[in-house]
Structure 1
């Protein structure tokens, strides 16, 4: 499918974000249109055919989660991306979007995510299994994460701290990093910051028992974690996020 044939519906109640995304998508070469909330989007979907929906999560009248639920019922083959600062547990329900467009937006990120979303799914191919790095100083937790992700056919690399993670990333390529916060030698926030500086293309997910700490949550958002989960967590939510980032 040629880019000029792709029609994208952007849904956001923030007029600045809406206009910015529409203009960016048009600059890339996509035919893009806007809706101000979920109800407006459903109305436009009844009137025209779109190849992709990019939606904010929190909106008046109907938010992104409700919109995704309706789209899955009415247009089950239509891909949906969430616009979000971070993929937190409350927006990852049983119905999962096809991906997350995280703020702040980068044109290269938008273009790559759209191409990957609209391309034929390759995840089930044995040659395209995702490799995930797990960073945690708790031996039992690392082992549990490795075993759990292996069940879902992910390849895994496990290290005990942030320094070990950065050293490993010098020689190993990975598709995502899952890290704890409280660790010796280098904590998870520092690791997250360094990964975003050195390897900005690698998605990062934080698992912590300290999500209620406002400073921790602020750091996760400031350093653009792609998702965070509080212990105890639902493994399937993490797997769903890994499949879609």
Structure 2
């Protein structure tokens, strides 16, 4: 029987370059994780059938199975697995497909180990998207789209409920409506940003409220999307926010 991922924070590192693979594994172990190395996609699938992993970090360009193909096969073996891809190449169709199928984020080489540590800390902690909109049909429809893309997503319908959700259950990204009764998005964002486990906030609005947009950005908001927005635009924005070092600067890496 596989042990619970809540008991062991085990990270699978997949890269055909031995030096890169060993460096990543060594740094992850310094952060308190158990790191397991796989030399290619086939090896990774063998390991995934034998052990449970909290997170996978995989290179995209590899001989045999590439990183995206490996990601797809890994998700069949362990559907709840969180996967981060690494690449030295500009965004290409293959990577776009992976993002739209639920990859946590894409890290572009070269990157610092500090950057990686911040992403890993968030990815193994609460890799979920919280959607907040006072119109339940809007919030629920966004959640349905995100789940269909392979992302963990949940909805609440007011600002206070959103803050409680983050405290009690956790989320690393919040898609937050700006204009809501009782407690608006700006106030909700400010409260979330004061929490120990801070959340990356992607604002959204169907109103012309430049003052509120400026206010939420000044309080640490990542960006603001104008309703109605394309579902793929949101999915790509979430992946980009998760991999953006600037959005993570105020979040200290949490040791396992």
* 1:238 paired to 2:242: no
**Unaligned residue ranges in structure 1 (runs of 5+):** 132-152, 158-166, 179-233
Residue of structure 1 equivalent to 2:174 = 129
Give, in whole Å, the separation in 1 of the partners of 2:24 and 2:51.
Answer: 20
What do the CA deviations read for 1:135-155 (whole angstroms, capped 9, x no partner)?
A: xxxxxxxxxxxxxxxxxx942
Cα displacement (A) at 1:238? 3.2
Distance 1:4 1:105, change over 3 A: farther
Q: What is the aligned length?
A: 161
Residue of structure 1 equivalent to 2:115 = 109
Q: Identify which range, 1-10 or 114-123, moves more after superposition.
A: 1-10
Cα displacement (A) at 1:84? 2.1
* 1:25 paired to 2:67: no
Residue of structure 2 equivalent to 1:96 = 102
Residue of structure 1 equivalent to 2:188 = none
Give, in whole Å, the separation in 1 of the partners of 2:116 and 2:202.
Answer: 25
Cα displacement (A) at 1:22? 0.8
Give, in whole Å, the separation in 2 of the partners of 1:11 and 1:74.
Answer: 16
* 1:174 paired to 2:221: yes
Q: For 1:14-53, list aligned pairs within 5 A.
A: 14-53=17-56
* 1:155 paired to 2:203: yes
Cα displacement (A) at 1:98? 1.3
What do the CA deviations read for 1:183-213 (whole angstroms, capped 9, x no partner)?
A: xxxxxxxxxxxxxxxxxxxxxxxxxxxxxxx
TM-score normalized by the length of structure 2? 0.53
* 1:74 paired to 2:77: yes
Distance 1:108 1:73, change over 3 A: same
* 1:56 paired to 2:59: yes
Give, in whole Å, the separation in 2 of the partners of 1:176 and 1:86.
Answer: 25
Distance 1:86 1:117, change over 3 A: farther
The answer to whether the 8 Å contact 1:56/1:82 transfers is yes
**Unaligned residue ranges in structure 2 (runs of 5+):** 133-161, 163-172, 177-200, 206-213, 243-256
Distance 1:60 1:236, change over 3 A: farther
Give, in whole Å, the separation in 2 of the partners of 1:236 and 1:89.
Answer: 19
